[in-house]
Amino acid sequence: MRASSLSSSQVIDLLNQYFISAHVDGVYYQNNATVPPEEKAAYQRVFRDLHQLNQQNQAAGKPRLSVGQVHAYVLAADGKPLDSLHVGEAKPDRVVAMLEKAIQTLKVPKGKPIVLPKPQSVAPRAIDNSLVLHLTARYLVSKDQPNARKDIDADYVPIEAQLGTERAGSWSALPSEDWIELRKAEWQKLLPAAKADVGSTWDLDREVAARLLTRCYPTTENNDLLTNRIDRQSLKATVVSVKGNRIRARLEGSLTMKHTFYPGREDKNVVEATLIGYMDFELGNPRIHALRLVTEKATYGGAARRFGMALRSVSAGSD
């Protein structure tokens, strides 16, 4: 829906001019202790009201509204539900019709956006000495496919998504994003225990490496990292250059991880990935200047479903 209806200029204009939009991740709200209790209560109240409304509609012989976490809802100013669409049915034309119906029903006047546009994915407010990393992942297709991007010279490339159209309503249209913050005590475990000379090798701390690798999967509906199961992982560093206090190490690794596509629905989808990258760091005054880790050789649920992942540091971890 993000790449189809929510990228449609007509839908965007209607939302900006007549509605206050909100995006809620149900898994996040249920599992995250930092969500204020009043927000959790408001979220649950929407579903309770929908259930009551559907009981009333059924008794009156009226159609029931579709209900679930993966939905688009229209609520009145008092929070009462008016309409809904499952994302599988939320094509641009149907979303426009739902919004226009609500505007007519509520007689909403046209106005300026209440909330100005801003990125939904932003870096966390890192504490001192932490290392913040940005991760992106997306599906790839063979370069000879009709919908493959032609501006990238690689065997497997992203698709050329027709954003804002029904055709763009697929998991491969846009990349996913995530942020990882490693505290000083964590990122220091990525460094070698002893002096590092050219050719020195070591295995990166398994627990900290798992913090990075558990997010190595393409866009799915399941964002609960606790349901991921790493069956095999490796991440090895080899020093390739030493210039003064600055050391560069080549990173190489692999991953086999169980990740279900839908939350709470078991399947046989497994991530298989080969990873490569580098890390620039100092030892005397411990510091990670840069960390990069990528894969173009990754599959999810079999060889036919390829994806790529890129992880990069955006703030340095320092003493």
Q: Is residue 240 part of a domain?
A: yes
Kindly state whether residues 50 and 196 are assigned to the same domain. Answer: no
Residue 317 has pLDDT above 80, yes or no: no
Q: Is residue 166 part of a domain?
A: yes
Average pLDDT, the chain: 92
Task: Tell me the pLDDT band of 167, cut-offs 50, 70 and 90.
Answer: confident
Kindly state whether residues 259 and 212 are assigned to the same domain. Answer: yes
SS (H, E, C) the chain: CCCCHHHCHHHHHHHHHHCCCCCCCHHHHHHCCCCCHHHHHHHHHHHHHHHHHHHHHHHCCCCCCCCCCCEEEEECCCCCEEEEEECCCCCHHHHHHHHHHHHHHHCCCCCCCCCCCCCCCCCCCCCCCCEEEEEEEEEEEECCCCCECCCCCCCEECECCCCCCHHHCCCCCCCEEEEEEECHHHHHHHCCCCCCCCCCEEECCHHHHHHHHCCCCCCCCCCCHHHCEEEEEEEEEEEEEEECCEEEEEEEEEEEEECCCCCCCCCCCEEEEEEEEEEEEECCCCEEEEEEEEEEEEEECCCCCEEEEEEEEEECEEC
Q: Is residue 117 part of a domain?
A: no
Residue 72 has pLDDT above 70, yes or no: yes
Query: What digits encode the pLDDT tens for the residues 215-267?
Result: 999 999 898 899 999 999 999 999 999 999 999 999 999 999 999 999 889 99
Query: What digits encode the pLDDT tens for the residues 118-133?
Result: 887 888 887 888 999 9
Kindly state whether residues 270 and 164 are assigned to the same domain. Answer: yes
Task: Tell me the pLDDT band of 2, cut-offs 50, 70 and 90.
Answer: confident
Query: What digits encode the pLDDT tens for the residues 5-21?
Result: 989 999 999 999 999 99
- In this predicted structure, what is the pLDDT of residue 318? 62
d(CA 85, CA 68): 9
Task: Tell me the pLDDT band of 54, cut-offs 50, 70 and 90.
Answer: very high
SS (H, E, C) 10-59: HHHHHHHHHCCCCCCCHHHHHHCCCCCHHHHHHHHHHHHHHHHHHHHHHH
Residue 45 has pLDDT above 80, yes or no: yes
Task: Tell me the pLDDT band of 57, cut-offs 50, 70 and 90.
Answer: very high
What's the domain range around 58?
Answer: 5-106
- In this predicted structure, what is the pLDDT of residue 238? 98
Overall number of domains in the chain: 2
pTM value? 0.82
Q: Is residue 267 part of a domain?
A: yes
Query: What digits encode the pLDDT tens for the residues 170-186?
Result: 788 889 999 999 999 99
- In this predicted structure, what is the pLDDT of residue 230? 98
Percent with pLDDT over 70 in the chain:
98
Kindly state whether residues 139 and 270 are assigned to the same domain. Answer: yes
Residue 319 has pLDDT above 60, yes or no: no
Q: Is residue 119 part of a domain?
A: no
Residue 165 has pLDDT above 80, yes or no: yes
Task: Tell me the pLDDT band of 145, cut-offs 50, 70 and 90.
Answer: very high
Q: Is residue 242 part of a domain?
A: yes
- In this predicted structure, what is the pLDDT of residue 116? 81
Kindly state whether residues 50 and 148 are assigned to the same domain. Answer: no
Taking residues 205-210, what's their average pLDDT?
97
Kindly state whether residues 172 and 221 are assigned to the same domain. Answer: yes
- In this predicted structure, what is the pLDDT of residue 264? 86
Q: Choose one of 72, 106, 140: the last residue of a domain.
A: 106
Look-up of token digits 């790529």: 308
Kindly state whether residues 54 and 149 are assigned to the same domain. Answer: no
Q: Choose one of 62, 89, 106: the last residue of a domain.
A: 106
Residue 51 has pLDDT above 70, yes or no: yes
Q: Is residue 113 part of a domain?
A: no
Kindly state whether residues 78 and 153 are assigned to the same domain. Answer: no
